[in-house]
């Protein structure tokens, strides 16, 4: 019993005759007839009842057809899996990531994937969430690791990989530094350091100040969490910041909670719903999700 015989038999059954099967497979009808005859001889039963007008399955043919289709489906699936594996072994993945990714250990996740798939070329782009999502929209990124804001467009899908919280950072020795949570209204007269207008962090600051009844004064806008911390440490203002950025290695600042602190968006792995990921990108995304599920978040 040969695979070619099984494929020819299934095609005759599906198309209702030898002629149509031969046209679909682009094989001579005589070759299909000969192979089906050989299959019938091999199993010792007729598979088709043949007349001058039609071909129909016998009881043996019906029984065999069910099993043959299951075998062919499994083989086609295996062929697809092997093709995906080959693509993973030699693919390319481009990932966007914000500076704040909660408890998700992105460097360790990248190292783990690289050790498992050393043939895949990995590219990491860092930036703020808005331009990264624009790049994802344009197709230059496979997925993004970063905060999932409530206004995330519906064309994107996100899977949570980490948690984050907002804290207040002040210059060391600031008059409000201490262990107690600081009411946000007490910051009314302070200068703030923040990301530019339109950023997620700026929206969090504006919302918290609005609820406390004032408009925040932001004389210092900068490009990322690390530079926010540097400016605060230099005494140029106070800031809201993700806890992981506030406690990371860097210039000294006082870190403490704000009373009724605004919520920080969860950290997610974001991809475009309408764009199919390559086999390599799918494998990378799957490994990241598994790592987030088993590691600290």
3 state SS of 91: coil
In total, the chain counts a number of residues equal to 297
Give the residue among 89, 113, 84, 77 at the shortest CA–CA distance from 279. 84
Could you tell me the pTM of the whole model? 0.65
Decide the pairing of beta strands 121-126 and 254-256.
unpaired
3 state SS of 250: coil
What pLDDT does 228 receive?
Answer: 96
Q: 250: alpha, beta or left, given left = phi > 0 and alpha = psi -120 to 50?
A: left
DSSP, res 243:
H
3 state SS of 198: coil
Task: Report how far residue 22's alpha carbon sits from residue 31's, in angstroms, rounded to the nearest whole number.
Answer: 9
Give the residue among 117, 113, 130, 122 at the shortest CA–CA distance from 289. 113
189: its two tokens: 């007269």
Find the distance separating the first CA and the last CA of the chain, reported in whole Å.
54
What pLDDT does 278 receive?
Answer: 85
What pLDDT does 183 receive?
Answer: 92
Low-confidence spans in the chain with pLDDT less than 50: 297
Task: Report how far residue 232's alpha carbon sits from residue 170's, in angstroms, rounded to the nearest whole number.
Answer: 6
Q: Strand order of the sheet with strand 254-256?
A: 239-242, 166-170, 254-256
Q: Which residue blocks in 241-278 are alpha helix, DSSP H?
A: 243-246
What pLDDT does 297 receive?
Answer: 47
CB atoms closer than 10 angstroms to residue 53: 6
From the CA atom positions of the chain, what is the Rg in Å? 31
List, in order of start, the domains of the chain with CATH numbers: 3-88 (1.10.10.10), 93-163+266-294 (3.40.190.10), 166-256 (3.40.190.10)
């Amino acid at each position: 019993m040969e695979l070619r015989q099984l494929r020819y038999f299934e095609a005759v059954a599906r198309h209702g005759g030898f002629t149509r099967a031969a046209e679909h497979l682009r094989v001579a009808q005589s070759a299909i007839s000969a192979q089906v005859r050989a299959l019938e001889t091999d199993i010792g039963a007729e598979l088709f009842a043949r007349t001058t007008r039609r071909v129909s399955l016998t009881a043996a043919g019906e029984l065999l057809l069910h099993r043959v289709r299951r075998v062919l489906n499994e083989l086609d699936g295996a062929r697809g899996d092997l093709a995906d594996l080959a693509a993973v072994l030699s693919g390319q993945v481009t990932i966007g990531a914000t500076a704040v990714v909660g408890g998700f250990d992105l460097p360790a996740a990248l190292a783990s994937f690289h050790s498992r798939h050393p043939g895949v070329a990995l590219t990491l782009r860092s930036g703020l969430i808005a331009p990264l999502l624009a790049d994802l929209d344009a197709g230059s990124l496979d997925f993004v690791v970063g905060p999932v804001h409530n206004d995330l467009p519906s064309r994107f899908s996100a899977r949570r990989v980490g948690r984050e919280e907002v804290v207040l950072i002040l210059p060391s020795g600031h008059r409000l530094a201490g262990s107690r949570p600081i009411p946000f209204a007490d910051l009314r007269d302070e200068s703030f350091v923040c990301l530019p207008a339109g950023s997620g962090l700026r929206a969090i600051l504006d919302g918290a100040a609005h609820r406390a009844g004032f408009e925040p004064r932001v004389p210092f806008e900068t490009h990322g969490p690390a530079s926010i911390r540097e400016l605060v440490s230099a005494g140029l203002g106070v800031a809201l910041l993700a806890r992981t950025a506030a406690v990371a290695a860097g210039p000294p600042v006082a870190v403490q909670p704000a009373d009724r602190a605004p919520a920080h968006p969860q950290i997610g792995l974001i991809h475009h719903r309408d764009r199919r990921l390559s086999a390599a990108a799918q494998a990378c995304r799957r490994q990241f999700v598994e790592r987030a599920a088993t590691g600290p978040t």
